[in-house]
Amino acid sequence: MDEQIKITEIFKKMGAGTRQAESMARQLIKRADQLVESRRCSRLAAMEYLLSLAVSGAEGIAPPGFEGTHADGQSMNVKVSKPNDTVDASRGANQLPDSMRNRVECLFVESFGRSPSVVCRAPGRVEFVGNHTDYNGGPVLGAAVDRGVWVAVAPRADGLRRFRSDQSEGVVDVEDPSIRREGGSSWVNYPLGVLAALKEFGLSAPEGFDYAVCADLPVGAGLSSSAAIELSSGLAFLGLTRQSVDRETLVKIGRHAENHFVGVPCGILDQGVSGFGRKNQLVYIDCSGPTFDTVPMPEGADFWIFNTHTKHALVDGLYLARHEECLAAARGLSVSQLALASEDLLETQNTVLGPVELKRARHIVGEVARVRGTISALAKNDLDEVGRLITASHRSSQTNFENSTAELDFLVDQLEGLPGVYGARLTGGGFGGAVMALTDDKFDASAAEVIKSAYFAEYGAPCVVVHLRTAEGAEVVLGPQSTLSCR
Ligand code: GLA
């Protein structure tokens, strides 16, 4: 029992809620017992192995520095490290972890007793600059990152749809051939939403299949695991049915699932970046189209994520409230979308808006200008200016959009002016989550440690740091390569 309490505490420190942490601890202990039985390894080795997988799964980090033996007898390059002590500087530039493919294939075999026929991956994303501009018809810059979601599938003849995730216990069976939402906030609603969206787009949804999913994105950091599961599931389902779409359609299917099935009124940023990401590039989306493009990322610039593991209890409601306030501001200014308002219009018409709408409008109009300024600065390789604009974006979130938190502000305050840091801002919707810092390539784990220690001293809670690289967008890893007809 002592053991279960200790493991529960570890998962809680990693950001899981109490019930989730208890369930994860029970699952881990059960799996350890199975490993001892099936592999004849020591219980300690099984525990170490499973905890290391859990840490790497939740934080997307392979803890460095251990050469050991996998419980399967294969070589293993992971070690249990303190979950709160995870700075990942171990992965080489632009390498995707092969272990993720292994993990999802193993989970598939373990769950369904056979091999998958299609495996796909889609990356998470950082929002570089352009906060809440997407659903206001504005421009945004993001980057696909070298962590994401991997989905493995194989067809079944009996029409049953079976789902398994490495983040929760057991297989979820969906027998009903008509696609309906599962109760509560079940993760299965993401792939189910994609199945429903395929039909809405005039494509066919596969009938019976087995499905397994693994993720190495940090939990709750605002790196968009939802878009990544939507796009990897979409590609996997299309692969199963041998249909082919272009990238833009895949992206729109993902967003449709999120808006109409999961029920989050997000814009196109997350799915667009996950779909159109490229190594060493930022993705530029003009959300008035939308149109998608890429902008080279200057050499010598790096991303670091500082995940506070905090999340406002009302985050979904607050996102919706901001959405509505922006619509009200657009109506007040008589523009069809808020991003179309110019700074002049805003200042000459400011009396037609209430104080809240005025602040929201200032944020969006300012963000539009900051995205354009960032693109010009990137073209000149002026990273100092890029950094200044990024931090200015955060300050506007703090004062105008009011989607920051004390924890996020604290991190930005600490990072601002630190040697090697060009700029820092909250990334994603806000109201908790993570801060992204744009740094030079000399910034390292020990520099990140300074921030972590300051955060711990202030809040008595860990902040988990992840070093991210840019990565390619969604892709088929195993199966018909023609699923994506073109970029
Ligand atoms: C979330 C949404 C995106 C976007 C950002 C804020 O990530 O999913 O569509 O609105 O917030 O820029």
Is 9 or 301 the better-scoring residue by pLDDT? 301
CB 269 less than 6 A from any atom of ligand 1 = yes
pLDDT at 37: 62
CA angle 391/124/289 to nearest 5° reads 75
Q: Nearest residue CA, atom 11 of ligand 1?
A: 429
CB 88 less than 6 A from any atom of ligand 1 = no
Ligand 1 mean position, distance from CA 224 (Å): 9
Confidence band of 92 (pLDDT split at 50, 70, 90): very low
Q: What is the pLDDT of residues 255-275, one digit of tens each?
A: 999 999 999 999 999 999 999
The minimum-distance atom of ligand 1 relative to the CA of 429 is 11
Q: Nearest residue CA, atom 10 of ligand 1?
A: 132
CA atoms of 230 and 247, how far apart (whole Å):
13
Between the two ends of the chain, the Cα-to-Cα distance in Å is 53
pLDDT at 487: 52
Please choose, from the candidates 441, 437, 434, the residue with its C-alpha nearest in 3D space to the C-alpha of residue 424: 437
CA atoms of 60 and 78, how far apart (whole Å):
12
Ligand 1 mean position, distance from CA 130 (Å): 9
CA atoms of 175 and 484, how far apart (whole Å):
29
Q: Which residues, at least 6 apart from 183, have a Cβ–Cβ distance to it below 8 Å?
A: none
The DSSP 8-state label assigned to residue 254 in this structure reads: H
User: Hey, which of 132, 371, 426 would you mutate to test ligand 1's pocket, going by the most ligand atoms within 8 Å of its Cβ?
Assistant: 132
Q: Where does CATH 3.30.230.10 sit in the chain?
A: 95-297+472-478
pLDDT higher than 60, residue 77: no
The minimum-distance atom of ligand 1 relative to the CA of 132 is 12
Buried/exposed code over 337-360 (b: 16+ C-beta within 10 A; e: otherwise): bbbbbeeeebeebeeebeeebbbb
pLDDT higher than 80, residue 446: yes
Please choose, from the candidates 485, 68, 436, 483, the residue with its C-alpha nearest in 3D space to the C-alpha of residue 234: 483
Ligand 1 mean position, distance from CA 247 (Å): 19
pLDDT at 91: 38
95-104, 213-222, 433-442 — which one is most confidently predicted on average?
Answer: 433-442
Average pLDDT value for residue range 130-136 = 98
The minimum-distance atom of ligand 1 relative to the CA of 130 is 12
CB 128 less than 6 A from any atom of ligand 1 = no
Are 86 and 54 spatial neighbours (Cβ–Cβ below 8 Å)? Answer: no
pTM: 0.82
The minimum-distance atom of ligand 1 relative to the CA of 227 is 8
Average pLDDT value for residue range 233-247 = 97
Ligand 1 mean position, distance from CA 51 (Å): 32
Average pLDDT value for residue range 2-23 = 73
**Class of residue 68 by CB neighbours under 10 A (exposed 0-12, middle 13-18, buried 19+):** middle
CA angle 138/139/143 to nearest 5° reads 140
Ligand 1 mean position, distance from CA 285 (Å): 13
Catalytic residues: 270
CB 270 less than 6 A from any atom of ligand 1 = yes
Ligand 1 mean position, distance from CA 151 (Å): 23
CA atoms of 365 and 202, how far apart (whole Å):
37
Q: Nearest residue CA, atom 8 of ligand 1?
A: 266
- Transcribe 98-128 into DSSP letters: HHHHHHHHHHHHHHHSS--SEEEEEEEEEEE
| Percent of all residues in the chain with a pLDDT value above 90, rounded to a whole number | 71
pLDDT at 315: 81
The DSSP 8-state label assigned to residue 187 in this structure reads: T
- Tokens 């593991």 appear where? 309
CB 367 less than 6 A from any atom of ligand 1 = no
Ligand 1 mean position, distance from CA 140 (Å): 10
pLDDT higher than 60, residue 93: no
Confidence band of 48 (pLDDT split at 50, 70, 90): low
Are 91 and 443 spatial neighbours (Cβ–Cβ below 8 Å)? Answer: no
pLDDT at 75: 25
Mean pLDDT, the chain, rounded, equals: 86
Are 266 and 425 spatial neighbours (Cβ–Cβ below 8 Å)? Answer: no
Q: Where does CATH 3.30.70.890 sit in the chain?
A: 301-468
Give the residues across from 294 on adjacent strands. Answer: 283
Taking CA atoms, 273 is separated from 10, 62, 217, 277, in Å, by: 32, 24, 15, 5
Give the residues across from 172 on adjacent strands. Answer: 163
CA atoms of 471 and 231, how far apart (whole Å):
15
Q: Which residues, at least 6 apart from 312, have a Cβ–Cβ distance to it below 8 Å?
A: 318, 405, 431, 432
pLDDT at 335: 98
pLDDT at 85: 29
Confidence band of 122 (pLDDT split at 50, 70, 90): very high
pLDDT at 43: 67
Confidence band of 438 (pLDDT split at 50, 70, 90): very high
Is 222 or 213 the better-scoring residue by pLDDT? 213
CA angle 63/66/72 to nearest 5° reads 95
CB 429 less than 6 A from any atom of ligand 1 = yes
CB 428 less than 6 A from any atom of ligand 1 = yes
Ligand 1 mean position, distance from CA 92 (Å): 29
123 φ, ψ (degrees, to nearest 5): -85, 160
Q: What SS3 class is residue 151?
A: strand
Confidence band of 240 (pLDDT split at 50, 70, 90): very high
pLDDT higher than 50, residue 178: yes
Q: What is the CATH number of domain 95-297+472-478?
A: 3.30.230.10
CB 387 less than 6 A from any atom of ligand 1 = no
pLDDT at 60: 32
Is 49 or 138 the better-scoring residue by pLDDT? 138
Q: What fold is seen in the domain 301-468? A: Alpha-Beta Plaits (3.30.70)
CA atoms of 279 and 146, how far apart (whole Å):
9
pLDDT higher than 90, residue 41: no
User: Hey, which of 127, 327, 425, 427 would you mutate to test ligand 1's pocket, going by the most ligand atoms within 8 Å of its Cβ?
Assistant: 127
Ligand 1 mean position, distance from CA 317 (Å): 13
Query: Which structure tokens are listed for 190?
Result: 């993401």
pLDDT at 182: 87
pLDDT at 83: 29
**Class of residue 208 by CB neighbours under 10 A (exposed 0-12, middle 13-18, buried 19+):** middle
The minimum-distance atom of ligand 1 relative to the CA of 134 is 10
Cβ count within 10 A of residue 457? 8
| Percent of all residues in the chain with a pLDDT value above 70, rounded to a whole number | 84
CB 135 less than 6 A from any atom of ligand 1 = yes
Average pLDDT value for residue range 187-201 = 97
Are 16 and 23 spatial neighbours (Cβ–Cβ below 8 Å)? Answer: no
CB 131 less than 6 A from any atom of ligand 1 = yes
52 φ, ψ (degrees, to nearest 5): -65, -40
**Class of residue 240 by CB neighbours under 10 A (exposed 0-12, middle 13-18, buried 19+):** buried
